[in-house]
Amino acid sequence: MGRPEAPLVTRAQRAAACGLGLLVLAALLGPLLAADDPTAITDVVARRLVPPFGRDASGGWHLLGTDRFGRDILVRTLLAARVSLLVGLLGSVLAAVIGVCVGAGAAWLGGWVDRTLMSVADTFLAIPRLILLLLCVALWAPGFSTVIAVLAATGWMGIARLVRAEVLALRSAGFVEASRSLGAPSLRTLAAHVLPNATGPAVVATTLGVGNAVLMESGLAFLGLGVQPPAASWGNMIAGGRDLIVTAPWVALAPGLALILTVMLCTELGDGLSSPAASRGR
Amino acid sequence: MPSHLRRGVESVLLFGFVVTLTFVLAHLAPGDAADLLIPPTASPEDVARLRTALGLDASMLAQYVRWISQVLHGDLGVSFALGEPVRDLLARSLPITLALGAVSLTLTFVLGVSLGMWQARHAGGWRDRIASAATITVYAAPTFWLSLALVAVFTYIASRAGWPEAVRLPAMGWRDYRVEHAGLSGIRDLVRHAALPVLVLTAVGAAGLSRYARASAIALHREGWVRTARAKGADTRQVWGRHVLANARPTLIVLLALSLPGLVAGSVFVEGVFAWPGMGRLLLSSIGARDYPVLMGATLVYAAMVIVANWLADLGIAWADPRRRS
Residue in B25, B136, B265 closest to A130 by CB: B265
pLDDT value of position B248? 77
Of residues B311 and B137, more confidently modeled:
B137
At B279, the amino acid letter reads M
d(CA B159, CA B69) in angstroms, rounded, equals 54
Residue A2 clears pLDDT 80, i.e. is over it: no
Give A93's Cβ-side CA count (13 Å radius): 6
Q: Would you state the pLDDT for residue A90?
A: 92
Strand A61-62 to A54-55 pairing: antiparallel
Shortest distance, CA B262 to any CA of chain A (angstroms) = 7
- Over pLDDT 90: what percentage of chain A? 5
CA B316 – CA B304 distance, rounded (Å): 18
Closest CA to B198 of B270, B251, B294, B264: B270
B152 and A131: CB-CB below 8 Å? no
- Determine whether B216 is exposed, middle or buried from the number of CB atoms within 10 Å of its CB (0-12, 13-18, 19+): buried
pLDDT at A280: 38
Flag the least confident range among A117-126, A130-139, B79-88: A130-139
Q: How confident is the model at residue A97 (pLDDT cuts 50, 70, 90)?
A: very high
**Per-residue pLDDT at B238:** 78
The CATH code of domain B3-30+76-324 reads 1.10.3720.10
Mean pLDDT of B74-102: 85
Q: How many CA atoms lie within 13 A of A187 on its CB side?
A: 1
Predicted model pTM: 0.81
User: Which pLDDT belongs to residue A37?
Assistant: 63
Q: Any CB–CB contact under 8 A between B140 and chain A?
A: yes
Q: Does B304 touch chain A (CB under 8 A)?
A: no
Helix (H) or strand (E) holding A228: none
Kindly state the average pLDDT of the residues B168-179.
74
Question: Residue B157: what pLDDT?
Answer: 81
Q: Print burial letters for A43-66: b (CB count within 10 Å at least 16), e (below 16).
A: eeeebbbbeeeeebeeebebebbb
Rounded to a whole number of angstroms, the CA Rg of chain B reads: 24
Closest C-alpha among A133, A132, A130, A158 to residue A148: A133
* Cβ contact, residue pair A123, B142, below 8 Å: no
Name, of A210-224, B45-59, B244-258, the range with top average pLDDT.
Answer: A210-224
CATH topology of domain A84-269: MetI-like fold (1.10.3720)
Range of lowest pLDDT (A28-32, A158-162, A274-278, B89-93): A274-278
What pLDDT score was predicted for residue A93? 92
CA atoms of A7 and A124, how far apart (whole Å): 37
Helix/strand/coil for A72: strand
- The partner residue sitting opposite A135, judged by closest CB among B26, B142, B272, is B26
Residues A246-256 have a mean pLDDT of 82
Non-local CB neighbours of A111 within 8 Å, separated by 6+ positions: none
CA A34 to chain centre: 26
pLDDT at residue A279 tops 60:
no
| DSSP 8-state assignment for residue B321 | -
Contact: B144, A219; criterion CB under 8 Å: yes
Q: Which of B144, B160, B296 has the highest number of chain A CBs within 10 A, making it the mutation to test binding with A? A: B144
ipTM tops the 0.90 cut: no
pLDDT score recorded for residue B124:
83
What's the whole-number average pLDDT of chain B?
81
Instruction: State whether A131 and B17 contact (CB < 8 Å).
Output: no
How many CB atoms are located within 10 Å of the residue B19 CB?
A: 19
Contact of A264 with B207, CB cutoff 8 Å: no
B257 contacts chain A (CB < 8 A): no
Does the pLDDT of residue A196 top 90, yes or no? no
Q: Give the count of beta carbons closer than 10 Å to the beta carbon of residue B158.
A: 18
Q: How high is the pLDDT of residue A275? A: 53
